[in-house]
Amino acid sequence: MKFISGAMRVIAGAIALQSVAQADCASLMGSKFPDTEVTRAEPVAAGAWTRPVEWGTALAAVVQRLPPFCRVTGIIRPTPDSSIGFELWLPERWNGRYLQVGSGGFSGELYYAGLFQGVENGFATAATDDGHAGIATDWMSGHPEKVIDFGSRAVHATSVASAQIVSTYYSRRVDYSYFSGCSDGGRESLMEAQRYPDDFNGWIVGAPANDWAGEMVLLLHKLQLTATLKDPLTPDQLKGLTDAVVSRCDATDGVKDGVIDEPLKCSFDPAVLECMGAPDGHCLSATQVEFVRRIYDDVRDSASGASLAPGLQGTRGTEAESWHFTRIPDDGGPSGQVLSDQIVHGFLPDMVYHDPRLDYRKIDLLDALKKSSAAIATRFSALSPDLTAVRASGKKIIQYHGWADPGNPAQYSIAYYEAVEKYLRQDNRDFYRLFMAPGMFHCWNGPGPNVFGGAYTPGGIFDADHHLLAALMQWVEKGKAPERIIATKYRDDDPAKPVIRTRPLCVYPRTARWKGKGSTDAAENFVCQ
């Protein structure tokens, strides 16, 4: 296998970076744009970006190699109660294209990693905070316009304002516009395609939280189960569970590599780990066995048994790394909680039940689903299968999801993709393709190959074989649809470090199969079937 350094960037053939006539960066401060105030416009020299927070080593390396660009910040006010913050980075060597990157959770901050990914590859690139500051939900109560901004308007308004600024700066219009987001950014991507199909030529949709009510119920379910578990699983027990699942199901795809390619086909009963005698620190108690079963299973109505949301079947074989929720304290306080729990503690009490003292442990799951759907379905959820306008206009969508996603189950992406196909009554693949990533967590990381140009993951190889954005460009601009994307596993998931493994991601419902000879760590030895 020929390994390519993660630091090496191969520019897609369709991209031509060139210096173009530009206005003086600072002069944008005096420009007038509808509903938009430019609050800063300053040039940034190559490698001189001063990051507002500390990054890990991978992103720090990207920051150091950023090209010179004009940094524009601003506020968009489509209503008196709106305050949509955004940043737009305008590279000195521009490829003629615009990229907008999505957010995550309840936003309230800019995702700079997405800006890095765009500007280092020559895109004029923008991001927005979705209309508020901070990841808490206190901005929702009494601010219906801010709720609308978060739901869909902020992303649309940012695309409109950015297009005007880009045209002013470069003295010509954008050739092609793209959107890339994961998690809530994936929801934003689908929302744009559904509601504002004229904004972009193509969309990258990563692990979309597009069924917001269902997602809230799943998070609530995990919290409730964890709060009632008297003997939380220890790291040793989680590792034992992971090892047992991998031992049972790893080879079902023909390759023993520690990654389960099709976890929904893995039949594993945690009862095999139940303690037969005195606990030894590795076996599971009867209540722990039942806990594991319920986490794997769909979220169900306690009365009817009906499925309310998908469970974490896809995380089989990654429990030791991905089941962080098993260590969440059950006191309901904010200390030590991950973002998903902050969402549940703030969103359900404030937005759905309007009771800040609400005890999440006492909420009925079916009631939460109904009330959440009534409160925010039309504002936050991006579930419409009607992508007729996208298809008719020749625009394209590439969606991806990690099978081992513990926060937003991969089944959501499959369900939406199939719903679109059912609605349109024909194969999606002429305009919309889904790629499932075995062993990948929420948006990135995990034991499987996980660097392939997803949102917020700068670095790696930028060409149509290895990078979703380059592949989307080739599809939109050249008419060549991606049949597979090569995902790379780097040491420590850092593209600046050596390659461990490459593996093709196949167009759903196909999966990668080893040819039976050659290294199982090399993508060229696999075929999509």
Beta carbons of 178 and 15 less than 8 angstroms apart: no
What's the CA gap between 176 and 372, in Å, rounded? 37
Report how many helices (DSSP H) and strands (DSSP E) the chain contains, helices first: 14, 17
Helix, strand, or coil (residue 94): strand
Which among 120, 116, 91 has a CA at the least distance from the CA of 101? 116
Catalytic, out of 184, 257, 405, 463: 405
DSSP one-letter code for 351: I
Instruction: Name the token pair of 2.
Output: 């020929």
**107 annotated active-site:** no
**405 annotated active-site:** yes
| Torsion sign (Cα): 328, 334, 335, 337 | positive
**159 annotated active-site:** no
Listed in order, strand segments (DSSP E) in 138-215 are: 176-182, 202-206
What's the CA gap between 431 and 302, in Å, rounded? 40
Catalytic, out of 442, 463, 466, 467: 442
What's the CA gap between 106 and 104, in Å, rounded? 6
Q: Maximum distance among all alpha carbons in the chain?
A: 77
- Residue 6 identity: G
Q: Helix 339-347 crosses helix 212-228 at what angle (to 10 degrees)?
A: 100
DSSP string, 253-292: GS--SS--S-GGG----GGGGB-SSS--SSSB-HHHHHHH
Catalytic, out of 82, 107, 162, 183: 183
Q: Which residues have a catalytic role annotated?
A: 183, 405, 442
